[in-house]
Structure 1
Amino acid sequence: MEYSTILYEEDGPVGTITLNRPDDGNMFTEAMCHEIRDVIETIRRETRTRVVVITGAGDKFFCIGGRKDVEIKSTLYAGTLPTLEMYEAIDRLQKPVIASVNGYAIGGGNVLQVVCDLTIAKESAIFRQVGPMVGSFDAGYGTWYLEDLVGKKKAKEIWFCNPKLSAREALDIGLINKVVPDDDLKDATREMALAVAERGSFALASIKGAFNARHGGVSGLSRVTHDLLLRSYLESEESAELNASFQEKRKPDPSKFGS
C-alpha cells in the first residue's frame, strides 16, 4: 500500500513505520494520523510481523507533534487532529511497538513515544512537552501514561514547567528504555526488535493486554478476554470435548476437563 506521509517496510519479523515529513519536523497531519492508524490495523491482521518500530525520517526530528494552524477536515472533531485514533491503534495492537527516537520528540511526538511499549533513543535526542506554553494540553495518553513512567510529581513538572530533557535525563527518570550513540541507533533498534521478536508472540500479546487492561476499563478487560483468554480456552482439550459432546448429543467425558 502506498502512503503519502509515512513509509512502511518489513525486514523479517520487524515492520518499520517512518514518519516521512522531515522538512516539517515530521509533524502530524490529518493524513499522517490516519495512515499510521491504517498501517497498524493492517499489521494487526497479519502474522509476518512480530515487532513494530516507529521512527522519523532524517536525523534531526522524531516528531514535533501537531500545530493549531494545520488544516483539518476530520468529520469526527472539526479542527482537531485525529491523534487519539493513532494512539489507540498502537495501544491495542497485540504486537510490541518500539519507538526509535532519532531526534526531537516534542509535544505529540513525545506522547507518541510514551504510548509505544519501548523506547530507544540516540544520545542527541531531546524530549519535551510544550502544550501549556501554547495553550494546549493532553488530558489522556500524555498524562496518565506519562505518570506511569516517571511518577506523578515528575509528570506534572514535565507538563507544568516544560523542561527540555536530554536522552540521558529521559533515561534516568524512566521516560525511555535505552540510549545509544547517534550513529548506532538504527543497528541498536534492530537488535532490540529482533530480541523481542524471539519471544513467544502469544505470551507478548498476553502481557501487553494485561498492562493495557489497567487503563482500558471494560474495553481493556474485554480485549484480554476476547483476544487472549478466549483464544486459549477454545484451544483446550476441555473445550474440544464439550463442543464435540454438544454436537454429538452425548454427555461430555469429565476426564478431559482441566487438562
Structure 2
Amino acid sequence: MERQWETLKEYKEIKYEFFEGIAKVTINRPEVHNAFTPNTVQEMIDAFTRARDDERVGVIVLTGEGDKAFCSGGDQKVRGHGGYVGDDQIPRLNVLDLQRLIRIIPKPVIAMVKGYAIGGGNVLQVVCDLTIAADNAKFGQTGPKVGSFDAGYGSGYLARIVGHKKAREIWYLCRQYDAQQALDMGMANTVVPLADIEDETVQWCKEIMRHSPTALRFLKAAMNADT
C-alpha cells in the first residue's frame, strides 16, 4: 500500500516523516549502508525529541533508506581517537545519547529492519521496544574485529534479551544471524516478507495506538527500570 508520508522537517542525513499518528525516522545514507556519523546521530536526536514532544505522535518507527541496510553502525571513515569526528571536528560518541533517548522516550519505538543491522546498527535495533524484521535482514556485531566494543546497552541489555551465553557468542564470535535466527533468540518480534514490511509495521503501530498512551508510557518505564 502506498502511503503519503508528510515530511515534518528537512535534514541532511535522515528523513523525518509523519503518517496517521506514526513518526518515521529514516537514516538516509544508503551509499554507505546507512552508516551514521555524529551529524546523523545529532539529527536523529533532534527528530526523536520532536516526536517525543508532538502530541500527534503515538509510535515512532526507526528504519534505514532502501532495502539493503537498516544501519551498518558508525561510519569508519570519520572514526578518530576518542570517537567519531563530525563537521565540528570534535570526536564524539553521541550515539550513546541516542540509545538512551530511545530507551527513555515515553512512546513505543519500533525498529523496521531491512537488510543489514550490523555493529552499532544492531545496537540501535536492540534498544528499540520492538523489532520487525524483513526476511532479508541480517544481524550481528563486528566491533571486536577492529578493536571496538559497546560497554552499555549493546552488551548488557542484549544479554538481558537473548541471555548471557548467546550475547557473549554474538560479541565474541562476530557472526551474522538471519532474520529467523534473530526471531528464535528473541532479538526480533516477527519476520515478514520484504515487500510487506512497511504494511506490517504500520499495522503494529495502529494496534498499539488503540491503547492508552498513559498505560504504555508507564509500562515502558517499568520494563526499563532495571537497565
Mark yes or no: TM-score above 0.5. Answer: yes
Rg comparison, structure with higher value: 1
What secondary structure, in the 3-state scheme, does the structure 2 residue paired with 1:213 have?
Answer: coil
- 1:160 paired to 2:177: no
After superposition, the C-alpha distances for 1:130-183 in whole angstroms (9 at most, x for unaligned) are 010111000001011101110000000000011110000000011110000111
Structure 2 length normalisation: TM-score? 0.91
Structure 1 length normalisation: TM-score? 0.80
Corresponding position of 1:45? 53
What secondary structure, in the 3-state scheme, does the structure 2 residue paired with 1:214 have?
Answer: coil
Corresponding position of 2:28? 20
After superposition, the C-alpha distances for 1:30-54 in whole angstroms (9 at most, x for unaligned) are 1110011111111111210000001
Bigger strand fraction: 2
CA contact (8 A) 2:39 2:87 kept: no
Bigger helix fraction: 1
Distance 1:92 1:41 in 2: 11
Alignment RMSD: 1.5
What secondary structure, in the 3-state scheme, does the structure 2 residue paired with 1:17 have?
Answer: strand
Corresponding position of 2:81? none
Corresponding position of 2:161? 149
After superposition, where does 1:60-139 map in structure 2 within 5 Å? 60-70=68-78, 72-73=85-86, 78-139=90-151
Q: Among 6, 10, 32, which residue is 1:2 paired with?
A: 10
After superposition, where does 1:208-227 map in structure 2 within 5 Å? 208-215=220-227
- Residue type at the aligned position of 1:41: T
CA spacing shift, 1:73–1:31, aligned 2, 3 Å? closer
What secondary structure, in the 3-state scheme, does the structure 2 residue paired with 1:32 have?
Answer: helix
- 1:174 paired to 2:182: no
Distance 1:74 1:211 in 2: 37
Q: CA deviation at 1:69?
A: 3.1
Q: CA deviation at 1:81?
A: 3.4
Corresponding position of 1:200? 212
CA contact (8 A) 1:34 1:85 kept: no
What secondary structure, in the 3-state scheme, does the structure 2 residue paired with 1:58 have?
Answer: coil
CA spacing shift, 1:121–1:62, aligned 2, 3 Å? same
After superposition, the C-alpha distances for 1:206-246 in whole angstroms (9 at most, x for unaligned) are 0011112112xxxxxxxxxxxxxxxxxxxxxxxxxxxxxxx
CA contact (8 A) 1:29 1:81 kept: no
Q: CA deviation at 1:104?
A: 0.3
> Structure 1: 5+ residue runs without aligned partners?
216-259
Instruction: Report % sequence identity.
Output: 46
CA contact (8 A) 2:60 2:110 kept: yes
Moved over 4 A (4+): none
